Amino acid sequence: MIENRPFVTFLAHLTVITGILIVAFPIWITFVAASHDAIRMTQVPIPLWPGDQFLINMKQALTQGLGGAGGPPVWLMLTNSLITAMMIAVGKIIISLLSAYAIVYFKFPFRMGFFWMIFITLMLPVEVRILPTFKVVADLNLLDSYWGMTLPLIASATATFMFRQVFLTIPDELLEAARIDGAGPMRFFWDILIPMSRTNIAALFVILFIYGWNQYLWPLLITTDPNLYTVTIGIKQMLNSAELTPEWNVIMMTALLAMVPPVFVVLSMQKMFVKGLTETDK
């Protein structure tokens, strides 16, 4: 505290609390809507205070999904989201650890060429090349499969860059010592580099998990089989059917269930999350 100005401090608290209320209001409305029955959710004005149907709605969403729409139950969609998010996060971390290791610790032909090839992928999000990438996936017979939903998203440079940065800060003496003790390249990688970059791996995992969980356009194009729908696709399908039979209580319950895993990851690993965010993007 630099000076004591009670009024300014009060103003600061007031602004931040107002900000929080505005930011959180949509979530509150979602929670309220998820705790009333379907009939109450068709009466104007909709309630602002939670009802008593929360667990019943949760059970219906998880086991049946939206009644009339015939979509898959939400637990299946959550499982699909979890599988794809884990595949994307773990896949990205593994391939970028390996390639960053090769680029920093080995001298081999085309080293810089490979580096630039990876670097360029930093620039192009999947959204700008959807059509040809879709064609490639179709030609490889990967439509309607977890691999088709994840592999094209695994190709990215950010993680490789971060690990390269981390490896460059590790002192040379460690490698010299490991060599004197007779460790080969893979031994050095497993026993020294991986343990030393543990916190960075965790930070990156948080970011990539959220990235994978929130994917929408790509899984939407790749899947036609409802059993492979992720929860982001499921929400969209429910919104479509909301035009005819609004069951907002179930839709909002699904939205709530879809938010829980990534929000939980962010809040429980907040320090890692902030570290991952500020270090991968810069």
CA distances from 59 to 6, 30, 53, 173, 255 (A): 49, 17, 10, 58, 14
- For another protein, the closer of residues 41 and 76 by Cβ is 41
Among 161, 205, 229, 248, binds another protein (CB under 8 A): 248
The minimum distance between CB 174 and another protein, in angstroms, equals 9
φ/ψ of residue 45, rounded to 5: -80, 150
First to last CA, the chain: 30
Among 11, 138, 144, 190, binds another protein (CB under 8 A): 11
What number of residues does the chain have?
A: 282
- For another protein, the closer of residues 140 and 194 by Cβ is 140
Could you give the maximum distance between any two Cα atoms of the chain, in Å?
76
* DSSP assigned state of 193: I
34 binds another protein (CB under 8 A): no
Among 136, 187, 224, 227, binds another protein (CB under 8 A): 136
* DSSP assigned state of 44: S
Q: Give the footprint of another protein on residues 48-67 (CB under 8 A).
A: 48
Type of residue found at 125? P
Among 77, 88, 221, 222, binds another protein (CB under 8 A): 221
CB atoms closer than 10 angstroms to residue 215: 20
Q: Give the footprint of another protein on residues 146-205 (CB under 8 A).
A: 151-152, 154-155, 160, 167-168, 172, 175-176, 179, 185-186
Token code pair at residue 32: 């309220």
The minimum distance between CB 165 and another protein, in angstroms, equals 11
Q: Give the footprint of another protein on residues 94-113 (CB under 8 A).
A: 94-96, 98-99, 101-108, 111-112
Among 67, 68, 70, 125, binds another protein (CB under 8 A): 125
Q: Interior CA angle at 78 toward 76 and 84, to 5°?
A: 105
